[in-house]
Amino acid sequence: MQPLATNTPVAIIGAGAMGSGIAQVAAQAGHQVFLLDQREGAAEAGRQSIVQQLQRRVNKGKMEQSALDALINRITPVNELDDLASAGLVIEAIIEDLDIKRSLLTSLEKVCGDDTILATNTSSISVTALGAKMKHPSRLVGMHFFNPAPLMALVEVVKGLATSDDVAQRVYATAAQWGKKPVTATSTPGFIVNRVARPFYAESLRLLQEQTTDSATLDAIMREAGGFRMGAFELTDLIGHDVNYAVTSSVFNSYYQDTRFLPSLVQKDLVDAGRLGRKTGRGFYNYAEGAQKPLPATAEKANSAADTLIVEGDSGPLAPLVKRLAASGLNIIERDGPGRLRFGDAVLALTDGRMATERAANEACNNLVLLDLAFDYAKTTRLAIAVAAQASEQARTDACALLQKTGLAVSQIADRPGLVVMRTVATLTNEAADAALHGVASIDDIDLAMKAGLNYPEGPLRWSDNLGFSLVHTVLTHIQQSYGEERYRPALLLRQNRFAEKGFYS
């Protein structure tokens, strides 16, 4: 399917940050753009905000003044819906209200030609429901940009029940021509990103509520070990807790209170207190002038008399860490075993979803220290550990000393199922697998959406494959057994892959 020709006018309704951003994207692609907002002067203000942002690029030598002038000349503020009659694509980016959007769409049908594509930038309202009152709902499609639209690559192209395949394909091709990375999704609650991402916030919030460690440490673990741009608390402070909590609640209610999407009481308290994050000056962190962000908990330098690392069996995902430890000058002995590392009194293993205390009892290994997952053990700067209640203080000291030999900052957390990064990746994978099973989007598009829309270091389904086809299923099974909750039930597709001994991409 061919994209819209660049000589096809595009109209944007709503001149706020998102609408103005979309207008900029369309104008950059060469379209004449009509920008409409019901608030007097808002369309011109939106146009001027684009000028101000791009002028900074010109001043830094990153854009030619002539290019800025040409782009801005393609954006025309207008005052009436009738001014949009010639547009081939109209994208509404107004308030998230079903009735208001429906009214606008039915009005647009009276103004625009039969071939005009009508798109909604909604992030949470059903495209099917929006089209229900239209005479020709086949022309309606979701075109969900991410903020800021000029910088974020992802566009979710969302098909409602009545959306024409031709319309969806043309919008997909147009988004690609505009330099975006489009993915196709069905109109289900949260689409791809706002559904699959819920565990990223939920698991850190639950770990905080369980007093696993503090928010600064959890964020540092997710950044430095997990490879994520921000931890959950930094990110929700940026998004705004009112917004993030509302999205979680919406998805939770839309899925009939499925506990996978259970909102957090910790976050509700922040909302109730008006501590909404950066925009109010206080959330999980204090943003007042002069306030200092708390440092993550880091183990003090430990000393050990041990100088030999014993590698028992296949170290699996820990292999890059073993290689890194070998490069630190340790003597290495390899022998058969269950995939553990021994150093002094410490016995170290990658978490499999069980608490260290439970696993130590099950495997008759008192001095067990569990290691969290890292995105790249060869480069990570921090690693979380959990120590079995049965372990000696010397075992804890030896484990810290071993990891610190490579320059790693060690964060010891309370003994919780799955630790931090592993638990988060497992639950993200689980939600992604469930979305794929239900036809929300393809495996490729789900992974692309999470990388392009949220800057994840890897798509969760590919990440799961890299860990081995059975590890995530094992981790989830053990976490579910620990809590006895449906929240952690392995998705059917994940379970199927486990017994077929294959990954999502094999």
Q: Which residues are catalytic?
A: 123, 144, 156, 194
How many Cα atoms occupy the beta-carbon half-sphere of 357 within 13 Å? 7
Q: Exposed, middle or buried, 330 (CB in 10 Å: 0-12/13-18/19+)?
A: middle
Q: How far apart are CA 107 and CA 109, in angstroms?
A: 5
Q: Read off the DSSP letter of residue 282.
A: B
DSSP H helix total and E strand total for the chain: 20, 15
Q: How far apart are CA 486 and CA 209, in angstroms?
A: 19
Helix axis angle, 492-500 to 471-483, nearest 10°: 130
Q: Are 144 and 121 in contact (CB under 8 A)?
A: yes
Q: Are 340 and 348 in contact (CB under 8 A)?
A: yes
Q: Are 377 and 320 in contact (CB under 8 A)?
A: yes
Q: How far apart are CA 204 and CA 218, in angstroms?
A: 7
Indicate the pairing of strand 181-186 with strand 75-78: unpaired
Write the CA distances from 427 to 106, 229, 423, 480, integer angstroms.
40, 18, 6, 11
- The distance between the two most distant Cα atoms of the chain, rounded to a whole number of Å, is 81
Write down how long the chain is.
506
CA angle 411, 415, 421 (to 5 degrees): 55
Q: How far apart are CA 356 and CA 482, in angstroms?
A: 12
